[in-house]
Amino acid sequence: MSKVLNMRSARLTAGSGAFAAAIALGGSLLAATPAHAYPPPAPAPARPYGTVVTPSGVNERQYPSTDSSVRGFLKHRSQVGLKCKVRAQNINGNQIWYLLRDRPNWVTAKYVDNTGFVKYCKDVQRSPLNDTMQSKTAMG
């Protein structure tokens, strides 16, 4: 009986050793998982910003018109900072164009959804000359 008990004890010890090894291996695999995770998505730019909503993307233009030269391209779902807006060429019922914050290019609002309030450029890009008596009384 003592011999049977010793064999059971030996099997139990061997089994618990294997169990402990499996726990240690599993724990190390769980600890390694974050190293293989994808990086977090880039944060959205500061407000106001726009997100390209047309699947084909949108051209950046030198001026707020499709007659002006193409200066760049924004892919679908690209996010870009917006400085201000103007009313210009009507694109399929939308005449708003956005000036980009970090470069002097324009995009039509028809294909860019804005997040945050975008001021009109006349309110953002005021010149010191605008407030002089001479400019207020100027003709033509």
Q: For residue 20, what are its two tokens?
A: 């402990």
> CA 50 to CA 78: how far, in whole Å?
8
- pLDDT band, residue 133 (cuts 50/70/90): confident
- For residue 29, the model assigns a pLDDT of 47
In a domain, 59, yes or no: yes
Task: Give pLDDT tens digits for 78-116.
Answer: 999 999 999 999 999 999 999 999 999 999 999 999 999
Residue 91 maps to which CATH number?
2.30.30.40
Alpha-carbon span 100 to 42, nearest angstrom: 19
The pTM for the full model equals 0.61
DSSP three-state, residue 40: coil
Q: Are residues 76 and 12 in the same domain?
A: no
Q: Tell whether 90 is covered by a domain.
A: yes
The predicted structure's pLDDT at residue 5: 47
Exposure string over 49-71, b if 16+ CB within 10 A, otherwise e? bbbbeeeeebbbbebbeeeeeee
Range of the domain at 114: 49-123
pLDDT of residue 124: 77
Q: Is 20 contained in some domain?
A: yes
Q: Is 73 in contact with 59 (CB distance < 8 Å)?
A: yes
SS3 content of the chain, % helix, strand, coil (to 5): 35, 30, 35
Residues 85 and 110 in one domain: yes
Q: Are residues 57 and 118 in the same domain?
A: yes
| Overall number of domains in the chain | 2
In a domain, 27, yes or no: yes
Residue 93 lies in a domain: yes
Considering the domain boundaries, does residue 28 fall inside one?
yes
